[in-house]
């Protein structure tokens, strides 16, 4: 007679077996699997069976994105109980997400489920997807590119030219210096390309304070070009009204100066000096 505590050893089938204990008392004995997680491992059981004979074993595998880090993958049914699962699973590592020229990845980690965020150096902008995720097959997506910020053509300033003009592209921190060919500088002499792709300041101006010149101003004047200059109303001219461009890049006999007229309070109101 088989004792009930050892009955699983003699089962050759996986269906429940009916055992008579006395005249009117029967029991059904079956070895059932237990799905309790051990050591908080992530695993799956590759079978849909609900009952097992004594001596049967099941093979556990780590979940997607996890790898075996120790212990045994097997459990055995013995006398209606399962042996302790010793399997240990840990997240699969992905390693480096790649190298970015003029940038770098900021990691939340380098294991399954972690992310890497691409950050460009100052003066560069990102082309491509910024975030990569560690999957069971490695990092998804591709390594993005950090391209240099480029500004458009520098602003044109009437009656001025750019000193030592460089060839485009105008990348981050490229500087442009203006020099007036007529008048005096009113505004910044130098502007530079900023990190958002715009020039640092509004265009400068070249002007004779309080004066206007006849005709449309040119961007560049050549040797022997002439220019007529008049002062605004309320200003007095000191110097010549017509000037000529010399071969040394200067105006001759010299640019006039326009100074505001003094106002005198008379009986009839304000009078010019």
Q: Tell whether the model's pLDDT for residue 221 goes beyond 60.
A: yes
Are residues 36 and 112 both part of a single domain?
A: no
User: Which range has the top average pLDDT, 102-106, 232-236, 247-251?
Assistant: 102-106
Q: Which residue bears the tokens 């003066």?
A: 123
Are residues 31 and 49 both part of a single domain?
A: yes
Domain that holds residue 84: 4-91
Are residues 229 and 185 both part of a single domain?
A: no
Are residues 84 and 114 both part of a single domain?
A: no
Distance CA 55, CA 113 (A): 38
Are residues 190 and 219 both part of a single domain?
A: no
Of 50, 67, 91, which residue is a domain's last?
91
What distance lies between CA 170 and its chain's CA centroid?
21
pLDDT of residue 33: 43
pLDDT of residue 236: 75
CA distances from residue 124 to 98, 141, 173, 182, 195 in whole angstroms, order as listed: 18, 21, 11, 37, 7
Are residues 8 and 61 both part of a single domain?
A: yes
Structure tokens at 149: 């910020």
Does residue 242 sit in helix, strand or coil?
strand
Is residue 132 in some structural domain? yes
CA distances from residue 226 to 62, 78, 221 in whole angstroms, order as listed: 88, 111, 9
Distance CA 140, CA 112 (A): 11
Are residues 111 and 38 both part of a single domain?
A: no
Is residue 96 in some structural domain? no
Is residue 161 in some structural domain? yes
Whether the Cβ atoms of residue 132 and residue 140 lie closer than 8 Å to each other:
yes
Q: Tell whether the model's pLDDT for residue 264 goes beyond 90.
A: no
Are residues 167 and 233 both part of a single domain?
A: no
Are residues 83 and 8 both part of a single domain?
A: yes
Is residue 97 in some structural domain? no
pLDDT of residue 8: 47
Are residues 181 and 163 both part of a single domain?
A: yes
Chain segment 2-35, per-residue pLDDT in tens? 344 444 444 444 445 555 555 555 554 555 444 3
Question: How many percent of the chain have pLDDT more than 70?
Answer: 69
Chain segment 177-193, per-residue pLDDT in tens? 888 876 677 778 889 99
Domain of 173: which CATH number?
2.10.70.10
Structure tokens at 146: 């950090």
Number of domains in the chain: 4
> What is the chain's mean pLDDT, rounded?
77
Chain segment 78-90, per-residue pLDDT in tens? 888 889 989 899 9
pTM for the whole structure = 0.56
Distance CA 62, CA 42 (A): 6
């Amino acid at each position: 007679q088989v004792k009930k505590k050892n009955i699983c050893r003699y089962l050759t089938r996986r269906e429940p077996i009916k055992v008579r204990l006395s005249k009117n008392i029967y029991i059904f004995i079956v070895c059932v699997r237990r799905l309790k997680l051990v050591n908080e491992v992530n695993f799956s059981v590759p079978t849909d069976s609900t009952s097992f004979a004594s001596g049967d074993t099941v093979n556990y595998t780590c979940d997607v994105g996890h790898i075996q880090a120790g212990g045994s993958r097997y459990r055995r049914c013995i006398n209606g109980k399962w042996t302790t699962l010793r399997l240990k699973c840990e997240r699969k590592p992905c390693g480096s997400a790649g190298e970015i020229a003029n940038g770098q990845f900021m990691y939340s980690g380098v294991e399954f489920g972690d992310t890497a965020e691409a950050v460009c150096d100052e003066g560069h902008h990102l082309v491509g997807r910024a975030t990569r995720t560690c999957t069971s097959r490695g990092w998804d997506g591709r390594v993005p590119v950090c391209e240099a910020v480029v500004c458009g053509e520098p602003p044109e300033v009437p009656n001025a030219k750019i000193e030592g003009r460089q060839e485009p592209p105008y990348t981050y921190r490229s500087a442009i210096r203006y020099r007036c060919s007529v008048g005096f500088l009113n505004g910044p002499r130098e502007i530079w390309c900023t990190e958002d792709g715009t020039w640092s300041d509004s265009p400068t101006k070249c002007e004779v304070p309080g004066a206007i010149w006849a005709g449309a101003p040119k961007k560049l004047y050549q040797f022997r070009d002439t220019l007529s200059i008049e002062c605004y109303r309320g200003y007095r001219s000191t110097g010549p009204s017509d000037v000529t461009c010399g071969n040394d890049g200067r105006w001759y006999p010299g640019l006039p100066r326009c100074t505001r007229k003094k106002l005198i309070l008379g009986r009839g109101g304000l009078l010019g000096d």
